[in-house]
Structure 1
Amino acid sequence: MNGVPVEDDDLFAQDAVDSAPSATELEAERIAEALVFASAEPVPEAFLVERLPRGVDVRAIMSRLARLYAGRGVNLIRIEDKWAFRTAADLSFVFRRDEGEAKKLSRAALEVLAIIAYHQPVTRAEIEDIRGVQTSRGTLDVLMEAGWVRFRGRRRTPGRPVTLGTTPRFLDHFGLEEIRDLPGLEELKGAGLLSGRIPPDFRVPLPTTADELGEDEDPITQLDLEELGLLTPGGGADE
């Protein structure tokens, strides 16, 4: 058979049987597919673990589903520890948007977003030190309204400044599984986003992958949220 010994064919056939998903795994795939499809937001793996048959490997189930959807018009993608269906990136040209639907970010907002993404956790003062100019509250408001930036905690330094970081929605919008997927120095050069006259010792910062607070950060409290204008006194959401 095309030069393959019979015993090797038998081994390949046995491997195929061994690797074929069981009835339980197939049912788990169907349930996971339905849960992710029905959700407006990326679905955490912990949520899937609670609802899939006990004992199945959730990450293996989702990875197999992702491979099934890899060549289709809709892809199953992982965003940190969450899963979501998204239109295939190469088909974005078929969707037309109303001219007034999307607002372009200002250059200042793009600079601030890039600094937060690469330097997080970072304070407003640190952002201004990197940019060399003051950052308006409006610029940060735009990024927070988009859901791309969040308050992480309080830095354990005089004044206890608030630290900023990106969100899962930021990763989702820019097609990143995790923050370490941000382009590095050579990729930025190749895309023409860095000039040829950058300092020889310049390095693109490698952002942390941990969502937990750093050793120099304290958690945001309800009083902090009230002070920042995110909650009204007493705990109600500030409209």
Structure 2
Amino acid sequence: MAETDRARTGKGRSDDHLFDRELDHLPPAVRWREWMNRVEATIFAASEPVGRETLARIVGKSCSIDLLIDDIREELRGRPYDLVAVAGGWKHLTRPAYSDAIQTAVGGNERAVDLTQSEVLVLMYIAYFQPITRGELSSFFGKEISRDLIGHLRGSGMITSGPRSPTPGAPYTYVTTKEFLLQFGLETLRDLPELEALEDAGLLNRHSPTADAMLIGATTDEDGEGDDEALSA
């Protein structure tokens, strides 16, 4: 009976029916080309970035994923798209030079997130100082960060709840998500610009009256009363 069940479900088949990762029967050059094709096809078909562990399932154990990716990218030189390391994996993305043509032909990016300047400022601070609570964000900006603002960032998929803070009341902290990395074209959070670089570019003011690293555009005005709508709307 057990043998009959295995026959019906396909279990117990010989190794001949298993996926051949190694391709030992092929000459080295042909084998490498097949691995390249498998990797590129898998990344092309995926809607999300494909990680190293996933790609390792379709190539030989001795195969270098990084060298495969390098060879694929070399062949894509001159093409309007590239294979980009983003959000912990690889993804086919069109080159920025063709963004206007794509916008004209088919409209904007469906994944694009519409954020206000205030939301971007809060998101940047979460990205650099996560995990962080709403209370800590409010202290930083010198005014309350509303639940609505946090809710919109959560709804956009850019942040999510992190571990509870060890402070009294154990409030939830907030951290950025994989979607955040995708939206900003980052492979990991280590790819965020250095804070000093943001200051040099005029995007950061370390001498803000409300915080040690206040982002320009969210500072208080001369009488100490900030723009409440900017951060609590």
Equivalent residues, number: 181
Structural RMSD (CA): 2.8
Among 127, 152, 155, the residue aligned to 1:145? 155
Counterparts of 1:103 and 1:173, CA distance in 2: 8
The equivalent residue for 2:37 is 30
Unaligned residue ranges in structure 2 (runs of 5+): 1-27, 215-233
Q: Which residue matches 1:42?
A: 49
Change (3 A) 1:102 1:179: closer
C-alpha contact 2:162 2:175 (8 A) present in aligned 1: yes
**Larger Rg, first or second structure (1 or 2):** 2
1:135 equivalent among 142, 145, 151: 145
Contact 1:24–1:53 at 8 Å: present in 2 too? no
CA distance in 2, matches of 1:147, 1:53: 36
**1:188 Cα deviation (Å)?**
2.0
Q: State the Cα deviation string for residues 86-114 of structure 1 (Å, max 9, x = none).
A: 1112322223236xx96642232112101
Q: Quick one: which of 93, 96, 109 aligns to 1:86?
A: 93
Give the drift of 1:38.
Answer: 0.4
Describe the shift of the 1:186–1:159 C-alpha distance in structure 2 as closer, same or farther (beyond 3 A): closer
Tell me the SS of whatever aligns to 1:142: helix
Residue identity matched to 2:75: L
Taking CA–CA contacts closer than 8 Å with sequence separation of 6 or more, which of the two structures ends up with the larger relative contact order?
2
CA contact (8 A) 2:113 2:156 kept: no
- Distance in 1, matches of 2:170 and 2:206, equals 38
Q: Hey, what's the Cα distance between the residues in 1 that align with 2:118 and 2:173?
A: 19
Taking a change above 3 Å as real, the CA distance of residues 42 and 203 of structure 1, as seen in their structure-2 partners, is same
- Structure 1: which 5+ residue stretches go unaligned? 1-20, 205-239
Q: Choose from 64, 84, 96 the match for 1:57.
A: 64
The TM-score, its normalising length taken from structure 2, stands at 0.67
For the 8 Å contact 1:79–1:168, the answer to whether it is kept is: no
The aligned residue for residue 220 of structure 2 is none
Deviation digits for residues 169-207 of structure 1 (CA, Å, limit 9, x no counterpart): 2112112222122222443245432359669xx669xxx
Q: Among 184, 202, 209, which residue is 1:192 paired with?
A: 202
Amino acid at match of 2:61: R
In 2, distance between residues paired with 1:195 and 1:127? 16
Q: What CA deviation, in whole Å up to 9, does each residue of 1:205-229 have, x standing for no partner?
A: xxxxxxxxxxxxxxxxxxxxxxxxx
Closer/same/farther in 2, CA of residues 78 and 185 from structure 1, 3 Å limit: same
Give the SS at the match of 2:93.
strand
Q: In 1, Cα distance between the equivalents of 2:147 and 2:122? A: 11
- Tell me what 2:227 maps to: none
After superposition, what is the alpha-carbon deviation per residue over 1:110-164, rounded to whole angstroms, capped at 9, x for unaligned?
1210111111111111111111111122212222222211222222333222121
Matched, 1:183 2:193: yes
d(CA) in 1 for partners of 2:192, 2:102: 25
Aligned pairs for 1:92-111 (under 5 A) are: 92-96=99-103, 97=107, 104-111=114-121
